Structure 1
Amino acid sequence: MTSLDPDARKVLDLMAASGQPTLDQLPPVQARMAASAGLGALQGVPEPVAEVRDLQADGPAGPVPLRLYRPAGAVPDQALPATVFFHGGGFVIGDIALYDVLCRTLCNAAHCVVVSVDYRLAPEAPFPAAVEDCLAATRWVAAQAGTLGIDASRLAVAGDSAGGNLAAVVSLMSRDGDAPPLKYQLLIYPVADARGGRPSHEENAEGYFLTADLMGYFLGNYLGDTPPVDDWRVSPLLAPSHGGLPPASILVCGFDPLRDDGIAYADILRKAGVPVRFTALDDQIHGCFSMDGLIPSARTALQQLGAELREALS
């Protein structure tokens, strides 16, 4: 069996030594602040990009905040491919600011515009609010492509963890005609099946940042007392069909409760004839891309995913 990356072990030891309560022991508002402070301190230096712009999309419950990034070296007025990015955080925590470093890295590595989406969070806005906002943002980006310097014929979606779930769901909606056509989907340790029950949920239930208790906290806040885990907008693995979806890059981590979710989703896409590029970071933990200041191999892996995205959108 692969051993845990020493850098990831240092991060886990720092978390344990901090004496701070775990996120699932805090009310959502306090959990958001703790996550922003804690994960923010673990991130690397933000890469310079050509442009950063805050925008708003028209959403079903009001404006949806967005942040647009153009890559370093971009030619002015050139229409670039674009990726709509949905952040992680269990549908409860996370925001544009916490994902600024990641989006800059992805933007430069893929040499495309990245539009980060600040969708509504649970429990204040439970399922399907996040889905609705991400769908609305994707539609808006495609509709405004001309004014944003985007080539709408080369549009992708991406996300990590809960954001990977949302990217997979928007890809299904795109295939069914409810969202603009997509060229690619990039799913980083995604939530693919909210029912749980796979071996990695047990093997990695404790001790690796994302715990079984934290997963229960996130899904409980997002889905409520009668969770619709069989709804494909919650568990995209359960969609009636996966044929005709855009090609995908899927990444999983070995010491992650969600590892087997990503593996299962890659398998079901392949069986449906969807091209999949699959990466397993066997020595890593969930959330490592948001800890790249102390886990430098995570930024290298993200840059490799960006290269795959760049090739797909070229």
Structure 2
Amino acid sequence: MTLPLRILLFYVNHLKPKVDLNRVAPEKIREMNRKELQKIGSIIDVSPCEMERVEEGAFTATDGTSISYRYYQPLEMGKEGKSILFFHGGGFVTRDLNSHDKACRRLAQENRMPVFSVAYRLAPEFKFPIPVQDCYDAFKWLVSATADLGLNPERITVMGDSAGGNLATVVCLLSKQEGGIAPWRQVLIYPTADARLCYPSVDSLGKGYFLTRELMEWFVMHYQRTEDDIINPLMSPLLAEDVSGLPPAYVCTADLDPLRDEGKAYAEKMEAAGVDVEFQNFRGVVHGFLNLRRLCKRQNSAMHADIAAFLSR
């Protein structure tokens, strides 16, 4: 673990004011996160990559709601018509397009592909399965829009970190279930895969490493609609009976992340079912290192190189 990352963890664990999650509304938590990101964003991450274009847009969800997205066009585009549909992390409750703006710019630049970052609706205002449906609607919208955008509908990669990784692979499950065009690839960055929180790393790393068990339980409580939701494969894809036939997957985990074991288990489940899987566990980093490039430069760069190689095939 790098010294800057140790300093960040010391700040989070010992100096940062403690918040009683049971006494603070989710909207207040979101506001606090936004302010903290503005305060330390330049400390934990590097400057944003320059883009050819960054535009806001919207599509219509199944229930008629307008869902926003942000489009990133890199300075140099590949000629294969490939694109990335990105779902941000944040436990289905927090984060937004701005929290992952730098990450999406890097992904667009390093893969020479346009990125569409989706502002799916958040819990608890919009509980499971509404965020799932928003993301699946985003995929279907992008498939239908590719002709106008000069893209290939059969070369769309679904990608996300943490809760976004969960949503990306669930989009693949739904696409398989309903038939038609499916995602070309799935990239799952330290995904949450089992809402039961029953894997050993949840207990061994659930305190002191940024993402805590307490916070994960708070996320699940706000996301679930009923007690039975946590065993629904669309919330816990590790519980899906059949994951064969899913798109090739790149799955990575962080070695100091409570989600480490379930991410590895999901990669192994897909591989056992015949899915082409590349798995990487990055040592010395914590959950969220996609957005900690200044603090986890070596591992972050290696992850981006892995993704670029995976998507170039």
1:11 aligns with 2:8: yes
Match of 1:31 in 2: 29
Match of 1:128 in 2: 129
Number of matched pairs: 307
- Distance of 2:280 and 2:231 partners within structure 1: 27
- Distance of 1:148 and 1:20 partners within structure 2: 46
- Distance of 2:248 and 2:181 partners within structure 1: 15
Match of 1:290 in 2: 291
- Distance of 1:23 and 1:37 partners within structure 2: 18
Matched AA of 1:208? Y
- Distance of 1:268 and 1:23 partners within structure 2: 36
Match of 2:194 in 1: 193
Report deviation, 1:278: 0.8
Q: Does the aligned pair in 2 maintain the 1:243–1:269 contact within 8 Å?
A: yes
Report deviation, 1:177: 2.8
Match of 1:50 in 2: 52
Matched AA of 2:218? Y
1:66 aligns with 2:54: no
Change in Cα spacing, 1:131 to 1:179, as seen in structure 2 (3 Å) is farther
Q: Does the aligned pair in 1 maintain the 2:123–2:222 contact within 8 Å?
A: yes
For structure 2, which runs of at least 5 residues remain unmatched after alignment?
none
Match of 1:117 in 2: 118
Structure with a larger share of its residues in strand: 1
1:174 aligns with 2:175: yes
Report deviation, 1:175: 1.8
Change in Cα spacing, 1:50 to 1:257, as seen in structure 2 (3 Å) is same
Report deviation, 1:293: 3.1
Q: Does the aligned pair in 1 maintain the 2:157–2:183 contact within 8 Å?
A: yes
For structure 1, which runs of at least 5 residues remain unmatched after alignment?
none
User: Residues 96-107 of structure 1 correspond to what in structure 2 (within 5 A)?
Assistant: 96-107=97-108
Q: Does the aligned pair in 2 maintain the 1:39–1:290 contact within 8 Å?
A: no
Q: TM-score, normalised on structure 2?
A: 0.92
Match of 1:261 in 2: 262
Change in Cα spacing, 1:258 to 1:111, as seen in structure 2 (3 Å) is same
Q: Does the aligned pair in 2 maintain the 1:23–1:35 contact within 8 Å?
A: no
User: Residues 208-287 of structure 1 correspond to what in structure 2 (within 5 A)?
Assistant: 208-224=209-225, 226-287=227-288
Q: Does the aligned pair in 2 maintain the 1:86–1:159 contact within 8 Å?
A: yes
Match of 1:164 in 2: 165
Match of 1:184 in 2: 185
Change in Cα spacing, 1:56 to 1:218, as seen in structure 2 (3 Å) is same
Greater relative contact order structure (CA < 8 Å, 6+ sep): 1
Residue identity (%) = 34
Report deviation, 1:107: 1.0
Report deviation, 1:79: 6.4
Report deviation, 1:185: 0.2
Alpha-carbon RMSD across the aligned residues, in angstroms, is 1.8
SS at match of 1:151: coil
